[in-house]
Structure 1
Amino acid sequence: MSIGLGTKAKTVASKVTEANGEAYINSGEAFDTLKSDKVNLAVKSPSLVFDEDMNLYFKLALIAMDNWSPIAADNQSLLDYPNPLAGVKATLNIGQTVNVLGNFEEFQLVKTMDGDVGWLAL
């Protein structure tokens, strides 16, 4: 994802792909650099100093955010240890974001945004 900051054109476009102006151009230029910079989030503005600072902050945040994974299936049980017969610590909702801490056999050790740590069956 890229964020472009700047002015927008005075003319109204019927589609966002047809819009122009500094903000749209900056967003497109930032998007073009994502792959080569090996990041998933970048900002581009009229200020190079601002861009350098913000993109450094984004890179730091992405170290953690790139490991977050949404729970894609039905509600899942957060287990005490990596065994299907383990006690259930909590139930995670569909789409709830977790930070993956590690893997063991058919389980992932995760930490929820609330701070709960436990195992999810894959």
Structure 2
Amino acid sequence: MKHLISTLILIVCGICYTQFAFCDTIPTKGEWSEQDFRSVVPAPPTASIEGKVLTINFVTPLTDLTVKVTNNETGQVVYEECISVSTPQSHSVVLNADNGNYTLSFTHVLGYLTGEFVIK
């Protein structure tokens, strides 16, 4: 039984490791405020890019997060969506975009975060 449990733990850790090992984390900066918020403040989302697949990771439930991806050279918005999640999860999107530099923007009642990434 102990062998089975430890094997399952290793498999789960291996799956999680490969998810993060082959993608580029998108560093974000901005403000995520706790001011005037009366309950537990949801953690800010994180994002990663692998090829043209953008993955947004939610550690806590979050409602009405606007996600926008803009081409830095043309200013064209290539993706925009308002996302709500009720459980910690990942939300993946295939971007219909050419190779180049892009800006990711998260906008929420709690603040905003932006980060830049490259599609190769």
TM-score when normalising by structure 2: 0.30
- Structure with more helix by fraction: 1
Query: Whose RCO is larger (CA < 8 A, sep 6+)?
Result: 2
- Structure with more strand by fraction: 2
